[in-house]
């Protein structure tokens, strides 16, 4: 199998200082390059960039129903190992992160069984972190 290359994702934030603190202090991501309008982060080996941009007034929350829960769309995140997911979710709970969807096991006992959790950054970007009980089922159907 070919080695996976890091992805690059740039997201808007309406408060660069608050978002920078969230990604640095709460998620404990290391910071890369930056200037007065953007900051790079090492997002579990991938490049995440937060860009200052004022919110659009007409922005509307959107969700899709998945496993009986309203999942925020759009969202982004990363697939962790099973152990790392549980350690990371405990850290976030200790830091009193307000979950949109609390950590739980989705599709329990079926193909694609996974741990998942959703929360928002301080600028309204939805994040999902997940882990597959059997990593080989990542793309199974």
- Residue whose tokens read 């007034």: 57
Is residue 23 scored above 50 in pLDDT? yes
Assigned domain for 2 exists:
no
pLDDT, position 21: 98
Helix (H, G, I), strand (E, B) or coil at 128: strand
CA 2 to chain centre: 24
Assigned domain for 32 exists:
yes
For the stretch 10-19, pLDDT in tens is 899 999 999 9
Is residue 59 scored above 60 in pLDDT? no
64 or 91, which is more confident: 91
How many CB atoms sit inside 10 A of residue 83's CB? 9
Is residue 58 scored above 60 in pLDDT? no
Domain with 112, as residue range(s), is 8-54+63-137
pLDDT, position 60: 53
| CATH for 17 | 3.10.180.10
Assigned domain for 3 exists:
no
Assigned domain for 36 exists:
yes
Assigned domain for 1 exists:
no
Query: Residues 130, 118: contact at Cβ < 8 Å?
Result: no
How many separate domains does the chain show? Answer: 1
Query: Residues 121, 19: contact at Cβ < 8 Å?
Result: yes
* Tokens matching residue 81: 């190992």
| Average model confidence (pLDDT) across the chain | 90
């Amino acid at each position: 199998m070919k080695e996976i290359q890091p992805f690059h994702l740039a997201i808007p934030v309406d408060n660069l200082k608050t978002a920078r603190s969230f990604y640095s202090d709460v998620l404990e991501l290391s910071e890369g390059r930056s200037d007065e309008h953007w900051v790079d982060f090492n997002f579990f080996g991938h490049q995440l960039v937060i860009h200052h941009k004022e919110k659009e007034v007409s922005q509307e929350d959107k969700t899709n129903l998945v496993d009986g829960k309203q999942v925020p769309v759009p969202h982004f995140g990363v697939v962790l190992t099973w152990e790392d997911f549980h350690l990371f979710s405990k850290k976030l709970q200790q830091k009193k992160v307000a979950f949109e969807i609390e950590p739980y096991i989705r599709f329990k006992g079926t193909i694609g069984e996974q741990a998942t959790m959703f929360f928002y950054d301080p600028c309204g970007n939805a994040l999902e972190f997940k882990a597959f009980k059997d990593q080989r089922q990542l793309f199974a159907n």
